[in-house]
Chain A
Amino acid sequence: MLKNPKNKKILKWLLIAGGSLLLIGFVVYFYFATLSHDDTASLKADYTVEAIPFIKEFEKDYKTANKKYAEKIITVKGIVTSIEPADTTMNIKMADTATGSYLIFAFQDQHMTEAKKLKPGENVLIKGSCSDGIYSEILDAYSISFNRSTVEKN
Chain B
Amino acid sequence: MKKIILSLMIATASLMAFAQKKTSTSATVAFDARTAIDDLAKAENKTAIAAIDPSKNTVQFEAAIKNFNFSNPKIQEHFNQKTWLNSDEFPKATFSGVITSPSEVNFNKDGTYNVTVEGDLTIKGKTQKVKTPATIVVAGKTVKTNASFNIKLADFGVEGQPITAGKVSSEPKISVSAELN
Contact = CB atoms under 8 A, between A and B. Distances in A.
A binds B: yes
Contacts of B71: 36-37
B177 A143 contact: no
A138 to B, nearest CB: 5
B62 interface: yes
Interface in A112-154: 131-132, 134, 136-139, 143, 145, 147-148
B24 A143 contact: no
Contacts of A89: 46
A87 interface: yes
A104 B66 contact: no
Contact of B47 (A37, A70, A71, A145): A145
B23 A132 contact: no
Contacts of A136: 49, 62
B47 A106 contact: yes
The B interface is mostly helix, strand or loop, or mixed, namely strand
A98 interface: no
B40 interface: yes
B19 interface: no
Contact of B72 (A33, A90, A148): A33
Contacts of A134: 62, 64, 91-92
A90 B40 CA distance: 24
B25 A33 contact: no
Contact of B64 (A36, A37, A87, A132): A132
Contacts of A1: none
B87 interface: yes
A107 B66 CA distance: 16
A91 B60 contact: no
B34 to A, nearest CB: 13
B74 interface: yes
Interface in B37-73: 40, 44, 46-47, 49-51, 60, 62, 64-67, 69, 71-73
Interface string B138-181: 00000000000000000000000000000000000000010100
Contacts of B46: 86-87, 89, 91, 106
A86 B47 contact: yes
A134 B26 CA distance: 14
B62 A137 contact: yes
18 contacts: A33-B72, A36-B72, A71-B66, A84-B24, A84-B25, A85-B26, A87-B28, A87-B44, A106-B69, A132-B64, A132-B87, A134-B62, A134-B91, A137-B62, A138-B23, A139-B49, A143-B47, A147-B67
Given A37-B71, A138-B60, 13 more contacts: A35-B73, A84-B25, A86-B27, A86-B46, A87-B46, A91-B46, A106-B46, A106-B69, A131-B66, A132-B64, A136-B62, A143-B47, A148-B69
The 9 A-B pairs at the shortest CB distance, nearest first, are namely A84-B26, A132-B66, A86-B26, A86-B46, A87-B28, A131-B66, A145-B47, A131-B67, A145-B67
